[in-house]
């Protein structure tokens, strides 16, 4: 195939051997009218030496201090063809790679194309087998087969990586010219961006790569920034910001369109707020937040997460660090009613800002901003984040289930990667589309080549079959998982659930005891006996071992964990001669937040009993009042009166439980009428007047007299006013 003439701009980089291999692989792929400019980085005489005698290209040496953007610009300015190809100088290019990369430019709507690339940020990235990377010759052999398998395959994407791309010169000019990461948003606004899958490039990822010279910190940069993206997080943002105020040097909050008090709360807590936008892409939003961070290191934290570790130890570890990331322990509260279990995952939430960016529409990952390789690092035990976002109440409040399912499907459409497919399957389970999750996981399992991806899909399948009660199929998947897992705990955590669903509670308890006290599974999720505290307690209770069940429940509460729902706690403690009031005494203050998130989902009587106990222990606590305001409309009238008085006394008249009850269609006309009358009688709140009128109108004629009689007792002045008006 004869391709259109192009201008190739090589950013020299890597080791001399890498650079030499790049030039040797590039030259045979050029057409007779192509031009090549090689832009040298400052202070690299070793690379200059590799260019002696290479008369087929021109050499540019920008001024010292020039960054990648300036070197790309110098190359573009020194060339003339309508399409420019930007190439990192430490890649190996396969034979005929330019032909498929340039083919899409026959369509004037295409503004940029890139090849498949080993080690690049973005959707171009592909994984190649180790044997293909042993030598340039091995790579070229693999590339020939790759080209045949992917001939005529093109995919539209919203961006490409920085390693190897072809761009229309005029579109790049309209976009403002080259930048370090290239202006993909501005290019995408002008036309299509595609991947030519048949073209293959291998990035040797040299530490001296020319594209890394811009990844240094500013000399006056602060140590640590916190980065958050938020939308309508007024109910949780304050405690999150309070917890990190003394840990970080600055807090950057990127708001994606809040309609509540989120922005005001962030500013009141000293955050620098960027009022941005939302494009259905978590990775993009986080990167926009990172652009406003100045710290050498960044802590990525969510509004529904609270830092519970040791501030001084974390800062000291960052100041001494030679690496580029630390793993945080993220404690996920799950289930419902503030309980129902928890999970944990170790994840790189603390990382060097200049070297990283976030990738992925959903469940985004921290990647090297050039090579696209995942960030890893040592676990920092003092870096712990308490995450409440996966409690059922938070999912409902934030509509997370539906949103995540939609974003997961979009992510699969963006790029057909195994991680994206896995995220889709998990989102399908959590949204109740379990059969679809099974089909997605089976598809992923058939296509997965890496062991970690096979482990992921088997684990999802096991959970899906257990959710449907399909025990034989779940058991078969668990055996498949046993054959490839390297950590027994990876299998053990599913066996516990299997035995519990089967009703073999004794065996479930035995397997829990066989698990390590703490550790991680094959996917870096936390596993250990504590993770199954709820199942242990539930199993003991179902075996009528009530004293043991209550003992373990009390011990778990003392650790600040809420392992089972509120209603279940009431049953377990009651069977052992206790009561829910114990929970307020046993649970340390650090655990109250997690309990309150789900209390509103408990049966009203149990929720009210526990809130009363919490109020006695923490009188005046605003978070208790906030939850009580939700519960108060559902409790008996006398209790609604008490919570209403407390809310008004502490400055929350707008959350009055009597007013909420009187406007709640689930309550009887009698209850609504009396609630509005009492609010008017006791608090002279005129907001009760229209509610009283509506409720009275709904009272059946045969109940009017008894309701008025009750009103004479509970709200005599209001009753007199009504009788005078009727007279």
DSSP codes, 591-643 = HHHHHHHHHTTS-HHHHHHHHHHHHHHSTT-HHHHHHHHHHGGGS-HHHHHHH
Find, among 518, 559, 590, the residue nearest to 308 by Cα: 590
* pLDDT score, position 67: 80
Whether pLDDT at 332 is above 90: no
pLDDT in tens, 67-119: 888 889 999 999 999 999 999 998 899 999 999 999 999 999 999 999 999 88
**Lowest-pLDDT range of 41-50, 168-177, 201-210:** 201-210
Q: Would the pLDDT of 658 be above 60? A: yes
Mean pLDDT of 38-44: 86
598 pLDDT more than 70: no
Q: How far apart are CA 16 and CA 497, in angstroms?
A: 56
Does residue 310 sit in helix, strand or coil?
coil
- How confident is residue 398, by pLDDT bands cut at 50, 70 and 90? very low
State the pLDDT at residue 15: 86
Cite the beta strand spans of 152-223 per DSSP E.
154-157, 164-168, 192-203
Give the C-alpha separation, 556 to 586, whole Å.
Answer: 9
Burial of 553 (0-12, 13-18, 19+ CB in 10 A): buried
pLDDT at 599 over 80: yes
Percentage of the chain with pLDDT > 90? 68
Q: What is the mean pLDDT of the chain?
A: 89
Report in angstroms the alpha-carbon separations of 534 from 295, 555, 561: 40, 12, 10
Give the residues across from 86 on adjacent strands. 9, 165
- Among 570, 593, 567, 571, smallest CA distance to 580 is for 570
pLDDT band of residue 340 (cuts 50, 70, 90) is: very low
Q: Which of 107, 56, 89 is nearest to 164 (CA)?
A: 89
**If you average pLDDT over residues 219-248, what whole number do you get?**
94
- Say whether pLDDT at 479 is over 60: yes
Sorting pLDDT into bands at 50, 70 and 90, what band is 396? very low
Mean pLDDT of all residues in 651-659: 93
Q: What are phi and psi of 297, to 5 degrees?
A: -120, 155
Which pTM value belongs to this model? 0.75
| pLDDT, position 31 | 93
Q: Which of 614, 671, 622, 664 minimizes the C-alpha distance to 647?
A: 622
Does pLDDT of 727 surpass 60? Answer: no
Nearest CA to 565 out of 598, 611, 519, 517 is that of 598
Which of the residue ranges 120-129, 338-347, 638-647 would you say has the lowest mean pLDDT? Answer: 338-347
Q: What mean pLDDT do residues 286-294 have? A: 95
Most confidently modeled of 154-163, 213-222, 533-542? 533-542
pLDDT at 209: 58
């Amino acid at each position: 195939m004869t391709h259109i003439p192009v201008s190739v701009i090589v950013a020299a980089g890597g080791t001399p051997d890498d650079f030499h291999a790049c030039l040797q692989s590039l030259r045979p792929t050029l057409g007779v009218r192509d031009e090549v400019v090689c832009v040298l980085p400052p202070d690299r005489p070793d690379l200059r030496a590799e260019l002696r005698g290479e008369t087929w290209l021109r050499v540019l040496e920008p001024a010292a201090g020039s960054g990648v953007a300036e070197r790309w610009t110098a190359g573009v300015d020194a060339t003339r063809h309508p399409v420019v190809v930007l190439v990192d100088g430490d890649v190996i290019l396969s034979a005929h790679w330019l032909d498929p990369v340039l083919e899409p430019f026959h369509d004037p709507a295409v503004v940029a194309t890139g090849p498949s690339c080993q080690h690049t940020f973005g959707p171009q990235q592909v994984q190649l087998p180790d044997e293909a990377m042993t030598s340039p010759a091995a790579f070229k052999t693999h590339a020939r087969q790759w080209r045949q398998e992917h001939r005529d395959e093109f995919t539209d994407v919203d961006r490409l990586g920085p390693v190897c791309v072809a761009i229309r010169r005029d579109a790049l000019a309209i976009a403002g010219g080259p930048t370090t990461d290239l202006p993909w948003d501005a290019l995408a606004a002008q036309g299509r961006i595609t991947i030519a899958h048949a073209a293959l490039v291998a990035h040797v990822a040299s530490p001296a790569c020319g594209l890394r010279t811009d990844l240094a910190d500013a000399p006056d940069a602060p140590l640590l920034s916190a980065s958050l993206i938020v939308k309508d997080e007024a109910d949780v943002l304050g405690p999150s910001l309070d917890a990190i105020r003394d840990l970080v040097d600055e807090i950057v909050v990127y708001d994606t369109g809040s309609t509540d008090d989120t922005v005001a709360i962030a500013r009141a807590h000293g955050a620098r707020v960027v009022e941005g936008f939302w494009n259905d892409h978590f990775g993009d939003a986080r990167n926009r937040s990172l652009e406003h961070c100045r710290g050498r290191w960044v802590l990525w934290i969510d509004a529904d997460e609270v830092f519970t570790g040791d501030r001084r130890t974390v800062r000291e570890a960052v100041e001494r660090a030679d690496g580029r990331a630390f793993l945080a322990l993220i404690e996920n509260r799950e289930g419902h009613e503030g309980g129902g279990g928890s999970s944990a995952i170790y994840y790189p939430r603390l990382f060097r800002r200049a070297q990283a960016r976030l990738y992925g529409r959903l469940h985004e990952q921290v990647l090297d901003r050039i090579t696209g390789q995942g960030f890893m690092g040592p676990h920092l035990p003092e870096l712990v984040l308490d995450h409440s976002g996966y409690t059922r109440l938070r999912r409902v409040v934030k509509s997370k289930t539906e949103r995540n399912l939609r974003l997961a499907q979009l992510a699969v459409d963006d790029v057909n990667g195994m991680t994206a497919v896995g995220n889709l399957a998990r989102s399908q389970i959590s949204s109740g589309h379990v059969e679809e999750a099974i089909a997605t996981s089976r598809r992923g399992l058939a296509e997965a080549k890496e062991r970690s991806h096979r482990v992921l899909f088997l684990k999802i399948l096991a959970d899906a079959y257990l959710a449907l009660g399909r025990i034989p199929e779940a058991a078969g998947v668990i055996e498949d998982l046993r054959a490839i897992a390297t950590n027994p705990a990876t299998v053990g955590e599913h066996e516990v659930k299997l035995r519990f669903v089967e009703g073999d509670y004794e065996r479930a308890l035995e397997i829990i005891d066989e698990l390590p006290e703490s550790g991680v599974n094959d996917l870096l999720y936390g596993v250990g006996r504590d993770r199954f505290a709820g199942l242990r307690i539930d199993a003991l209770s179902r075996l009528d071992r009530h004293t043991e069940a209550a003992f373990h429940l009390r011990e778990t509460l003392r650790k600040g964990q809420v392992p089972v729902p509120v209603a279940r706690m009431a049953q377990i403690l009651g069977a052992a001669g206790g009561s829910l009031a114990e929970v307020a005494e046993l649970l340390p203050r650090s655990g109250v937040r997690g309990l309150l998130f789900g209390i509103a989902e408990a049966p009203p009587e149990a929720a009210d009993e526990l809130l009363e106990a919490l109020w006695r222990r923490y009188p005046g606590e605003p978070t208790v009042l906030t939850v009580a305001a939700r519960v108060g409309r559902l409790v008996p009238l006398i209790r609604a009166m008490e919570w209403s008085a407390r809310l008004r006394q502490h400055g929350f008249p707008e959350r009055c439980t009597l007013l909420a009850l009187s406007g709640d269609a689930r309550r009887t006309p009698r209850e609504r009428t009396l609630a509005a009358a009492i609010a008017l009688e006791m608090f002279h709140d005129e907001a009760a007047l229209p509610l009283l009128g509506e409720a009275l109108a709904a009272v059946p004629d045969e109940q009017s007299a008894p309701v008025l009689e009750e009103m004479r007792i509970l709200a005599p002045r209001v009753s007199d006013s009504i009788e005078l008006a009727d007279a």
